[in-house]
Amino acid sequence: MKAVNLLELEDLARERLPQGPFDFIAGGAEDEVTLRANREAFQRIQLRPRVLVDVSTVDPSTEVLGRRVELPVLLAPVALQRLAHDEGELASARAAEAAGTVMVLSTVSTCTLEDVAAAAGGHKWFQLYPLRNKEGTERLISRAKAAGYTAICVTADVPWLGRREADIRNNLQFGADIVPANLLDEIRLADLASGPRGPAGGAAAGLSDPGLDWDGIDWIRSVSSPLPVLVKGILTAEDARLAVEHGVEGVIVSNHGGRQLDGAPASIEALPEVVAAVEGRAEVLLDSGIRRGTDVLKALALGARAVLIGRPYIWGLAIDGEAGVSSVLSMLREEIELAMALSGCPTVADIDRSRVRLGSPAE
Ligand code: FNR
């Protein structure tokens, strides 16, 4: 692959994809203030390197929900991956397995959750958009359990679909081969195409339940038991505390890659208040804007157990299928190892709060 870093992938993928799908993947909500903030906020954080530490070997492996991952980076749930490559989610899941990490499969995947489970071992989580139809939600969770998924990740920040203006401008429509494979039994395709908010790109909005609240999380936990449940899309201490009170095992600090509420904070800026509110009672993960090994180091130093990447691996998928996703993960792994070595952290356990400085140098 020609890219030297994750930031270069977007332009390479642009050459491979039609404009509609490219913009759907790349875009953010409204003025894309939050989308840009996700990058800018990482750049404002400084690292505090320690020197003269033996870094002859550096080990970026860690544990997430009690299971080992070879690097602290997971593949975020991204809908409709056959838009990027014919093999879609199957290719991403195989690359995650090869890298020794977790793929979080979207509810709105273009390959069925059973096919993805059969295509790749390794441990996988199922991302849940709770459906308006409770029985349908229950069926999805049971299918994920039966297929061997090891956690249920409930996305909480899409009660309504964010306004992605590029999709409106492009009048985004998907071909007949791009279908939400897990949901064909649950909904009529016609309902999807005319979802109440936005174009077909907003498939999730037409089917996901805008009435979901914390009682709904209790119910999802009871149906998902014994699997752990994470809530994705937390940006405040208040919601982090509620998540813990409702017994979830993990929260994912995320603004959905700037695709939902424009004006929401960069997730890395929301991380410290969430970590403080959680007080170690659940695992805290983060996504939105991770592009560099140093971004991963900053997130871990501020209390994230691991991070997830979204668009970068989809660009890799568009460029070169499974091999493309694998190269994205290995580029990021190399950068993480380098960042750890240069800041004097031979293991992930060494990456603590003292390694970063927020805001002014006087801190
Ligand atoms: C997403 N994301 C997402 N999240 C989710 O919970 N379910 C989903 O189906 C999707 N679908 C989806 C499609 C596309 C094209 C994108 C780009 C993103 C959000 C995703 O999980 C993650 O939060 C962001 O992508 C992280 O930001 P970066 O890494 O893309 O900056």
Convert the pLDDT of each residue in 292-348 to its tens digit. Answer: 999 999 999 999 999 999 999 999 999 999 999 999 999 999 999 999 999 999 999
What ligand 1 atom has the least distance to the C-alpha of 254?
23
Active-site positions read: 256
Pocket test for ligand 1, best of 212, 256, 271 (most atoms within 8 A of CB): 256
**C-alpha of residue 110 to centroid of ligand 1, in Å:** 15
Specify the range with the lowest mean pLDDT, choosing from 64-73, 90-99, 123-132, 205-214.
205-214
**C-alpha of residue 78 to centroid of ligand 1, in Å:** 5
User: What residue owns the CA closest to ligand 1's atom 10?
Assistant: 78
Ligand 1, residues at Cβ distance < 6 Å: 24-25, 38, 76-79, 106, 108, 127, 155, 204, 232, 254, 256-257, 259, 287-290, 309-311
214-239 as b/e, with b when 16 or more CB fall inside 10 Å? eebbeebbebbeebbbbbbbbbebeb
What ligand 1 atom has the least distance to the C-alpha of 76?
21
User: What residue owns the CA closest to ligand 1's atom 18?
Assistant: 78
How far apart CA 211 and CA 170 sit, in angstroms, is 30
What ligand 1 atom has the least distance to the C-alpha of 289?
31
> Given the structure tokens 């890659």, which residue do they identify?
257
User: What residue owns the CA closest to ligand 1's atom 19?
Assistant: 256
Percentage, residues of the chain above pLDDT 90: 89
Per-residue model confidence as pLDDT tens digits over 172-191 = 999 888 999 999 877 654 45
Contact 178, 82 (CB under 8 A): yes
The model's confidence at residue 362, banded by pLDDT at 50, 70 and 90, is low
User: What residue owns the CA closest to ligand 1's atom 23?
Assistant: 256
Give the model's pLDDT for residue 30: 98
The model's confidence at residue 253, banded by pLDDT at 50, 70 and 90, is very high
How far apart CA 349 and CA 340 sit, in angstroms, is 11
**What number is the average pLDDT over the span 23-36?**
98
pTM score, whole prediction? 0.95
Per-residue model confidence as pLDDT tens digits over 195-218 = 444 444 445 556 789 999 999 999
What ligand 1 atom has the least distance to the C-alpha of 108?
9
Give the model's pLDDT for residue 208: 82
Give the model's pLDDT for residue 185: 79
**C-alpha of residue 47 to centroid of ligand 1, in Å:** 27
Longest CA span, the chain: 63
Percentage, residues of the chain above pLDDT 70: 93
User: What residue owns the CA closest to ligand 1's atom 13?
Assistant: 78
User: What residue owns the CA closest to ligand 1's atom 3?
Assistant: 78
Q: What sign results for the dihedral spanned by CA atoms 111, 78, 147, 203?
A: negative
Contact 316, 1 (CB under 8 A): yes
Give the model's pLDDT for residue 195: 46
Q: Share the mean pLDDT of the chain.
A: 94
**C-alpha of residue 254 to centroid of ligand 1, in Å:** 9
**C-alpha of residue 142 to centroid of ligand 1, in Å:** 23
Per-residue model confidence as pLDDT tens digits over 265-292 = 999 999 999 999 999 999 999 999 999 9
How far apart CA 295 and CA 312 sit, in angstroms, is 14
Give the model's pLDDT for residue 199: 42
